Amino acid sequence: MPLDESFIGRAFPTMPVWEVGREKIREFADAIGDDNPIYRDPEAARAAGHPDVIAPPTFAVILALRAHDVVIADPELGLDYSRVVHGDQRFTHHRPVRAGDRLVASAHVDDIRTRAGNDFLSMRAEITTEDGERVCTSRATLVARGTAADAEEGVPA
């Protein structure tokens, strides 16, 4: 089944506040194999001009995925997640994510396109502090493989 194009331009409610902890930052840095001390040591972070440890740039994916899950789970969209591959992920950082940040994220559907029998879902997550300071904009594209072709051929998805 093709994706419902009426979702283009739709904004979803902001996710609950998520507090960034030093330990979560360290765990993430360990998981990606980055031993930069500004991700672990408050003194090293302060020496680099930050008020506390900061997160690796891709740490923002944690909040982006939480926001995108709301879109993906909406049954009216018509997304068969068993047919999805991740096509693209990009981050625009307005400032680093810091230990102690209290962040929220809201999801937006920017586009839905059909190419070569596949549906491309372009989403954006705006990540801010709970007070509204912009921290990061995450953009992602999911590819629903063969869903557009099934609709064209009358085959159930």
- pLDDT exceeding 90 applies to what percent of the chain? 91
Domains for the chain: give ranges and CATH numbers. Answer: 5-21+55-153 (3.10.129.10)
For 70-73, the CB contacts below 8 A with 24+ separation are 70/12, 70/13, 70/15, 70/107, 71/7, 71/12, 71/107, 71/109, 71/121, 71/123, 72/142
What's the whole-model pTM score? 0.88
**For residue 128, what pLDDT is reported?**
98
The pLDDT tens digits for 38-76 are 999 999 999 999 999 999 999 999 999 999 999 999 999
- 152 or 132: which leads in pLDDT: 132
Q: Which two tokens stand for residue 16?
A: 């609950």
Band of pLDDT at residue 149, cut at 50, 70 and 90:
low
Average pLDDT of 73-89? 93
Nearest CA to 107 among 7, 4, 29, 10?
10
Q: What is the pLDDT of residue 157?
A: 44
Structure tokens at 11: 């904004």
Summarize the confidence of residues 81-98 as an average pLDDT.
96
Asked whether the predicted pLDDT for residue 152 surpasses 60, the reply is no
